[in-house]
C-alpha cells in the first residue's frame, strides 16, 4: 500500500465507512464464491466474464481472475473453431458470392476487444497493475488482427498522465518492436519528451537504448559514435543547467563520459609475473574460476598452457599457478588470455623472470572536436561553480570532465572536488572517499612503470591519504610495498598480497 | 511460550535502548501487537481485499516477528496447515490462498514460511522443484506461471526457492538463467529492470543482485556504477527512493540497503539518517510501519522497516540475511551461503 495518508475521521464517519466496507466485503466474497463454483463446474461462460469484471474493475491485481478470463477466452475461441469446422463439414449448398465477411474472425476480434477494453479501464484505476498490463499483452498475442498503431497511441496517452510509469515505457518498447517502429522515429519521440520535461529519467533511459543502436561506436570504447556523443553532451548539459538540482540529466551525462563497457566482457590481463617455479596473474575485473579461461604462455618455440590456477585472495582478481616453467633467458615471452595476447618484459634484477603490467582504466582517446566540447563544458561548469560553489552535481561533473580531458594533469584538482563533495553531500561521504581512493590508485599505478624499482617495489608517499586500497591485485607482481604505517594499520588484513609474500609462504 | 521473559518496559518502547537518539525510538511492542493482530479480524476490508497475496502477507508477518524474537506469538500449526492447503496438487506450486492459482511469487513465500517453521518435510518438495523447473524458458528467463509473464522478479523467486530447498544443482539451467538476468542490465547506471531494456528500478535491482548472490556471480556486477546509483537514492530525509526523482519509501529503503549490503557498499549511504527515516515511518498509535512518514501502516512495510533496522544493526533485533530477507539463523541452519562482497 503506497501513498495513503493517515487522516483523522470522526466516529460517525468511521461507522459509515465500516458499514460501506462490510457491504463490499460481502459482495466480494459472494462473487468470489460464485466464480470458484462455476470454475469447478467448468462453466467458462458469459456470466463468468461479468462476475470477474465486477472485481477486477476495483482491484485489477487479483491475478487469478485474469487467469479465469483467459480460460474463458480460450474456451470461446475453441467453440468458434468448432462451429467453423461444422460449417465446413456441411455439404456446400451454394457457393459464396463476392466478399463474404469472415464472420469467425469478426467474432474472435470482438472477444479480444472486450478484453482490451477491460484492461484499459483497469489501468485507469491502477496504471501500475502488473496483471492488467500482462493481460493486455496476452490478448494482443492471441489476436492476429492486433492493431499495434492503436497501442502506440495508447502509450502516448498514458505517458501524458505519468511520464515516469515504467510499465508504460516497457509496454511501449514491446509495442514499438511489434509495430516495427524505426529507432530513429522513437528517438524523435524521446527528444520531444525530454524537451517537454528535462527531469525525466525514463526518457533519458529510453534514449540510452536507442543511440548505441543508431550511432554505434566502432572501437567500442564509448557508448556511441564521437560525433553523436558530442551532440548529446551539448543537449544534456543544457538540460542539466536548466535545473542543476535535478539528477536525471547528470546521470546521463556521466554515462556519456564513460567507457561503454559490457557487463559480461571477458577479463583482461592487468599484471603478470613469471619465474621458473610458477606465475601470478592479476585480472582487471574479477573472475570466479580462472581455470575455465585458457591461458597460454609462448616463449620461442615453446607453448605451454598454464593450468591449475589457484586464487590468491577471495576477490577472484589475482591468481597463482605453481607449475614449474623452464624459463629461458633471452627468449621473448608472450601470454594469451582468451582473445588478448600481451608481450612480457624481462624482469630487472638478479633472478630470471618476465612480467607484464597495464595500469587500470586508461581514458578513451578524444578527437579534437570532442575535446573542444569537453573543454567548453568544463568551463561552463566552472563558471556555474563561481555562483554556486556548493552545487553538488556541478562539482562532480566538472571533476569527471577534467578527467575525461586529461587525467593526470587534473588529478589534484579533481580530488579537491571530491573533498568538497564529502562536505556538501555528506550522506555519500563514504562513496566519495572510496572514489578518491580509486582515482588516486589509478594515478599512482599509471606512474608506477616510471618509478625506480618497478615492478619489484611500489612506494606510496606518506602524504597520500586513502580510505581503502582498490586495485590491490595489481601488486601481486611486486615484492615490496612501501605503504605508510597508518595505511597498513587501516587496511589490516586487506593489505594486498605480493609475489614475495607467496614466496615466503613457500608457494614458489 | 513463556511471556514473563519479555518484560515490557513501562514506557512501552522496548528494544531500542540507545538507538535513534536524535529521533524516535523503536515502538517494539506496538509493532509486535500490530503484526500479531494482523489477520485476526478476517472480516477486515483491507485484509479481505488483499487475500490475493495472503501467502506473502504471512511471510512478511512471520519474518518480522521472528526478527523481533516473537515468532511464538503466532500459531505455527494453523499457519503450516494453511500453507499446505495452498499447494496445488497439479502444478506443485503454491497459491496465495485457497481458491486462487499457484504462482512463483507465492511459492517462494510459502517455502520461506516453511523454512522458518522447519516444516519442509510436510509438503511435496519434488513437486515444487518440478513447478519451478517447468517455468524456465529457452532464453533462461522464468514465467511467473503458465500464462507467460516474464520478469526478473521471477528469476529471483526461482533461484531463491531452489536454494532454500537445497535443489539448485541439476535442476534449472543456471548459465542460461544468468545470461537472461544479465540481458536486463543497463549500461547507463549498472542497474537492472524487469526485462531486457526496462529502466533500472531499486526493487528489480534487489532481485537481480540477490539472484547473482544466490548463483555466486556477483563478479558480473559493475559494483562502482551500480553502487553509486544506489547510494544516490538517499534523500535529505534519510529515506531512499526506488528511482531518480521519486519519493522516499521504507520498502525501497530495504531494496537499496540490502543490495548495497550484498555488494559491500553499505558505507556509501548514511546509516544514521536512514535509521531516523525508518523510525519516523512508525505508527506510534497502532504499531506497524508505513511507506512514508504520516501514512497508513501495512504489514509489507512493517517487515521492510524492521528488516532495514536489523541490517543497520539496531539493538534488540535478530540479524537478517540481505539476500533472502529471512533471519540469518535460519539461513545458517539450512547451510546456505549467499555470496556477499567485501568492503573495498
- Say yes or no: A259 contacts chain B, CB-CB below 8 A: no
Residues in B 172-191 with any Cβ partner in A closer than 8 A: 179, 182, 185-190
Grid coordinates in use for B2?
A: 513463556
Question: B194: part of which helix (H) or strand (E)?
Answer: none
Q: Which has the higher per-residue pLDDT, B200 or A352?
A: B200
pTM of the entire structure? 0.94
pLDDT in tens, A286-298: 999 898 999 999 9
Task: Give CA–CA dist B223/B200, Å, rounded.
Answer: 14
Task: Give CA–CA dist B26/A260, Å, rounded.
Answer: 45
Checking if the pLDDT of B178 tops 50, the result is yes
- Per DSSP, the three-state class of B304 is helix
Query: What are the chain A neighbours of B45 within 8 Å (beta carbons)?
Result: 21-22, 24-25
Q: Which of A310, A302, A284, A299 is nearest to A354 (CA)?
A: A299
Residue A275 per-residue DSSP state? E
At A465 the pLDDT is 87
Q: How far is A306 from chain B, CA to nearest CA, in Å?
A: 23
At A10 the pLDDT is 85
Closest-approach residue (CA) in chain A for B234: A427
pLDDT in tens, A343-402: 999 999 877 899 999 999 766 778 899 999 999 999 999 999 999 999 999 999 999 999
- Say yes or no: B36 contacts chain A, CB-CB below 8 A: no
Band of residue A448 on the pLDDT scale cut at 50, 70, 90: very high
Closest-approach residue (CA) in chain A for B301: A1
Mean pLDDT of chain A: 92
At A152 the pLDDT is 96
- Per DSSP, the three-state class of B297 is coil
Q: What values do phi and psi take at B326, rounded to 5?
A: -140, 160
At B19 the pLDDT is 44
At B15 the pLDDT is 38
Residue A326 per-residue DSSP state? -
Closest-approach residue (CA) in chain B for A212: B187
- Say yes or no: B242 contacts chain A, CB-CB below 8 A: no
Q: Which candidate from A169, A255, A258 shows the least CB-CB separation from B199?
A: A169
At A351 the pLDDT is 79
pLDDT in tens, A71-80: 999 999 999 9
- Per DSSP, the three-state class of B69 is coil
Q: How far is A346 from chain B, CA to nearest CA, in Å?
A: 32
Q: Which candidate from B103, B197, B229 shows the least CB-CB separation from A173?
A: B197
Q: What is the mean pLDDT of residues A194-207?
A: 93
Q: Which has the higher per-residue pLDDT, B246 or A222?
A: B246
Q: How far is A187 from chain B, CA to nearest CA, in Å?
A: 15
For cell 542497474, name the residue: B191
Among A14, A35, A64, pick the best mutation site for testing chain B contact (most B Cβ within 10 A).
Answer: A64
Tell whether omega for the bond before A455 is within 30 degrees of 0, i.e. cis: yes
ipTM: 0.94
Band of residue B20 on the pLDDT scale cut at 50, 70, 90: very low
Task: Give CA–CA dist A174/B176, Å, rounded.
Answer: 22
Under 8 Å between Cβ of A244 and A393: yes
Question: A307: part of which helix (H) or strand (E)?
Answer: none
Grid coordinates in use for B154?
A: 521471477
Q: Which of A263-277, B11-25, B184-198, B293-307 has the lowest mean pLDDT?
A: B11-25
At A220 the pLDDT is 75
Asked if B195 lies within 8 A of A286 by C-beta distance, the reply is: no
Band of residue A323 on the pLDDT scale cut at 50, 70, 90: confident
Q: What is the mean pLDDT of residues B182-208?
A: 97
Q: pLDDT > 70: what percent of chain A? A: 96
pLDDT in tens, A478-490: 999 999 999 999 9
Q: How far is B62 from chain A, CA to nearest CA, in Å?
A: 19
Band of residue A95 on the pLDDT scale cut at 50, 70, 90: low
Instruction: Kindly write down the DSSP assignment for every residue of B201-233, as one continuous string.
Output: -HHHHHHHHHHHHHTT-GGGS-HHHHHHHHHTT
Q: What is the mean pLDDT of residues B116-122?
A: 98
Residues ≥6 apart with Cβ < 8 Å to A162? A127, A168
Closest-approach residue (CA) in chain A for B145: A67
Task: Give CA–CA dist A112/A138, Å, rounded.
Answer: 10
First-to-last C-alpha distance (Å) of chain A: 61
Q: Of A8-17, A141-150, B34-43, where does the model show the most confidence? A: A141-150
For cell 530477507, name the residue: B325
Residue B264 per-residue DSSP state? T
- Say yes or no: B42 contacts chain A, CB-CB below 8 A: no
Query: What are the chain A neighbours of B301 within 8 Å (beta carbons)?
Result: 1
> Which of the listed CATH numbers 3.40.1620, 2.30.29, 1.25.40, 1.10.10 matches domain A17-82+107-146?
1.25.40
Asked if A468 lies within 8 A of B244 by C-beta distance, the reply is: no
- Say yes or no: A446 contacts chain B, CB-CB below 8 A: no
Band of residue B5 on the pLDDT scale cut at 50, 70, 90: very low
Q: What is the mean pLDDT of residues B299-326?
A: 98
Q: Which of A58-62, A223-227, B37-41, B212-216 has the lowest mean pLDDT?
A: B37-41
Q: What is the mean pLDDT of residues B154-170?
A: 97
At B44 the pLDDT is 87
Grid coordinates in use for A64?
A: 487469478
User: Between A and B, how many CB-CB pairs are < 8 A?
Assistant: 171
Architecture of the structural domain at A269-357 = Sandwich (2.60)
Give residue A287's region: left, alpha or beta (phi > 0; psi -120 to 50): beta
Asked if A434 lies within 8 A of B149 by C-beta distance, the reply is: no
Band of residue B64 on the pLDDT scale cut at 50, 70, 90: very high
Residues ≥6 apart with Cβ < 8 Å to B23? B276, B279, B280
Can you say how many angstroms the Cα of residue A319 is from the centroid of all Cα atoms in its chain?
28
Q: How far is CA B119 from CA A411, A473, B81, B97, B164, in A?
A: 59, 45, 10, 18, 12
For cell 541452519, name the residue: B333
Checking if the pLDDT of B6 tops 90, the result is no
Alpha-carbon torsion A158, A162, A163, A166, what sign?
negative
Asked if B268 lies within 8 A of A434 by C-beta distance, the reply is: yes
Checking if the pLDDT of A99 tops 70, the result is no
In chain B, DSSP finds a helix count (H) and a strand count (E) of 14, 2
- Say yes or no: B45 contacts chain A, CB-CB below 8 A: yes
Asked if A494 lies within 8 A of B342 by C-beta distance, the reply is: yes
Checking if the pLDDT of A261 tops 80, the result is no
Closest-approach residue (CA) in chain A for B179: A264
- Say yes or no: A59 contacts chain B, CB-CB below 8 A: yes
Checking if the pLDDT of B17 tops 60, the result is no
- Per DSSP, the three-state class of B193 is coil
For cell 460481502, name the residue: A26
Amino acid at each position: 500500500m503506497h501513498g495513503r495518508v493517515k487522516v483523522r475521521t470522526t466516529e460517525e464517519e468511521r461507522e459509515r465507512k465500516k458499514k460501506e466496507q462490510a457491504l463490499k466485503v460481502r459482495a466480494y466474497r459472494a462473487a468470489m464464491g460464485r466464480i470458484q463454483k462455476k470454475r469447478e463446474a467448468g462453466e467458462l461462460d458469459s456470466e463468468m466474464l461479468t462476475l470477474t469484471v465486477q472485481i477486477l474493475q476495483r482491484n485489477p491485481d487479483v491475478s487469478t481472475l485474469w487467469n479465469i478470463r483467459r480460460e474463458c477466452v480460450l474456451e470461446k475461441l475453441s467453440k468458434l473453431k468448432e462451429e467453423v469446422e461444422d460449417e465446413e463439414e456441411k455439404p456446400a449448398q451454394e457457393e459464396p458470392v463476392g466478399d463474404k465477411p469472415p464472420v469467425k474472425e469478426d467474432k474472435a476480434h470482438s472477444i479480444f476487444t472486450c478484453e482490451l477494453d477491460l484492461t484499459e479501464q483497469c489501468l485507469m484505476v491502477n496504471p501500475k497493475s502488473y496483471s492488467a498490463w500482462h493481460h493486455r499483452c496476452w490478448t494482443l498475442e492471441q489476436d492476429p488482427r492486433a492493431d499495434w498503431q492503436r497501442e502506440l497511441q495508447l502509450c502516448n496517452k498514458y505517458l501524458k498522465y505519468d511520464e515516469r510509469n515504467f510499465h508504460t515505457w516497457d509496454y511501449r518498447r514491446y509495442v514499438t518492436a511489434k509495430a516495427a517502429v524505426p529507432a530513429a522515429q522513437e528517438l524523435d519521440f524521446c527528444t520531444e519528451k525530454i524537451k517537454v520535461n528535462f527531469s525525466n529519467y525514463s526518457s533519458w533511459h529510453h534514449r540510452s537504448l536507442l543511440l548505441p543502436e543508431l550511432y554505434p561506436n566502432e572501437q567500442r570504447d564509448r557508448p556511441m559514435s564521437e560525433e553523436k556523443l558530442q551532440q548529446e553532451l551539448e543537449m544534456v548539459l543544457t538540460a542539466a543547467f536548466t535545473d542543476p538540482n535535478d539528477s536525471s540529466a547528470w546521470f546521463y551525462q556521466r554515462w556519456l563520459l564513460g567507457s561503454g563497457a559490457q557487463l559480461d566482457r571477458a577479463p583482461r590481463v592487468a599484471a603478470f609475473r613469471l619465474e621458473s617455479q610458477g606465475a601470478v596473474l592479476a585480472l582487471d575485473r574479477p573472475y570466479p574460476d580462472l581455470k575455465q579461461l585458457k591461458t597460454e604462455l609462448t616463449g620461442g618455440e615453446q607453448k605451454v598452457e598454464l593450468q591449475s590456477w589457484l586464487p590468491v585472495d577471495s576477490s577472484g582478481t589475482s591468481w597463482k599457478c605453481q607449475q614449474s616453467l623452464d624459463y629461458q633467458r633471452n627468449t621473448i615471452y608472450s601470454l594469451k588470455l582468451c582473445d588478448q595476447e600481451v608481450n612480457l618484459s624481462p624482469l630487472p634484477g638478479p633472478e630470471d623472470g618476465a612480467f607484464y603490467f597495464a595500469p587500470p582504466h586508461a581514458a578513451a582517446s578524444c578527437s579534437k572536436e570532442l575535446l573542444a566540447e569537453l573543454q567548453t563544458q568544463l568551463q561552463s561548469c566552472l563558471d556555474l561553480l563561481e555562483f554556486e560553489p556548493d552545487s553538488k552535481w556541478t562539482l562532480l561533473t566538472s571533476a569527471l570532465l577534467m578527467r575525461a580531458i586529461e587525467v593526470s594533469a587534473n588529478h589534484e584538482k579533481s580530488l579537491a572536488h571530491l573533498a568538497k563533495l564529502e562536505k556538501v553531500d555528506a550522506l555519500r561521504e563514504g562513496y566519495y572517499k572510496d572514489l578518491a581512493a580509486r582515482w588516486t590508485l589509478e594515478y599512482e599505478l599509471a606512474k608506477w612503470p616510471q618509478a625506480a624499482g618497478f615492478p619489484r617495489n611500489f612506494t606510496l608517499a606518506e602524504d597520500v591519504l586513502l580510505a581503502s586500497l582498490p586495485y590491490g591485485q595489481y601488486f601481486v607482481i611486486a615484492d615490496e610495498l612501501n605503504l605508510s604505517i597508518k595505511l597498513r594499520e587501516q587496511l589490516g588484513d586487506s593489505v594486498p598480497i605480493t609475489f614475495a609474500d607467496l614466496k615466503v609462504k613457500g608457494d614458489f | 511460550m513463556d511471556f514473563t521473559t519479555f518484560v515490557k518496559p513501562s514506557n512501552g518502547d522496548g528494544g531500542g535502548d540507545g538507538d535513534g537518539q536524535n529521533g524516535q525510538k523503536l515502538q517494539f511492542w506496538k509493532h509486535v501487537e500490530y503484526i500479531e493482530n494482523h489477520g485476526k479480524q478476517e472480516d477486515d476490508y483491507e485484509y479481505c481485499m488483499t487475500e490475493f497475496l495472503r501467502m506473502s502477507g504471512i511471510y512478511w508477518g512471520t519474518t518480522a516477528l521472528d526478527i523481533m524474537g516473537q515468532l511464538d506469538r503466532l500459531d505455527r500449526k494453523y499457519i503450516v496447515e494453511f500453507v499446505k492447503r495452498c499447494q496445488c496438487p497439479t502444478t506443485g506450486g503454491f497459491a496465495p490462498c485457497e481458491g486462487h492459482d499457484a504462482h512463483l511469487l507465492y511459492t517462494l513465500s510459502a517455502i520461506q514460511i516453511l523454512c522458518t517453521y522447519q516444516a519442509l518435510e510436510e509438503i511435496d518438495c519434488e513437486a515444487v522443484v518440478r513447478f519451478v523447473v517447468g517455468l524456465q524458458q529457452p532464453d533462461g528467463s522464468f514465467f511467473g506461471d503458465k500464462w507467460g509473464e516474464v520478469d526478473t522478479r521471477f528469476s529471483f523467486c526461482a533461484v531463491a526457492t531452489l536454494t532454500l530447498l537445497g535443489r539448485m544443482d541439476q535442476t534449472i539451467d543456471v548459465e542460461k538463467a544468468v545470461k537472461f538476468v544479465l540481458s536486463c542490465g543497463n549500461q547507463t547506471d549498472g542497474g537492472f529492470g524487469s526485462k531486457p531494456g526496462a529502466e533500472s528500478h531499486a526493487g528489480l535491482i534487489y532481485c537481480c543482485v540477490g539472484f547473482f548472490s544466490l548463483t555466486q556471480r556477483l563478479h558480473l556486477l559493475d559494483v562502482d556504477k551500480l553502487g553509486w546509483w544506489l547510494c544516490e537514492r538517499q534523500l535529505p530525509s534519510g529515506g531512499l527512493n526506488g528511482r531518480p526523482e521519486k519519493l522516499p519509501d521504507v520498502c525501497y529503503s530495504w531494496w537499496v540497503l540490502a543490495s548495497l549490503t550484498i555488494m559491500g557498499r553499505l558505507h556509501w549511504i548514511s546509516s544514521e539518517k536512514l535509521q531516523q527515516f525508518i523510525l519516523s515511518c512508525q505508527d506510534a498509535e497502532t504499531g506497524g510501519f508505513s511507506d512514508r512518514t504520516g501514512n497508513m501502516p501495512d504489514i509489507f512495510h512493517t517487515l521492510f522497516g524492521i528488516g532495514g533496522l536489523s541490517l543497520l544493526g539496531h539493538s534488540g533485533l535478530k540479524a537478517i540475511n540481505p539476500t533472502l530477507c529471512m533471519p540469518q539463523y535460519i539461513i545458517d541452519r539450512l547451510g546456505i551461503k549467499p555470496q556477499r562482497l567485501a568492503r573495498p
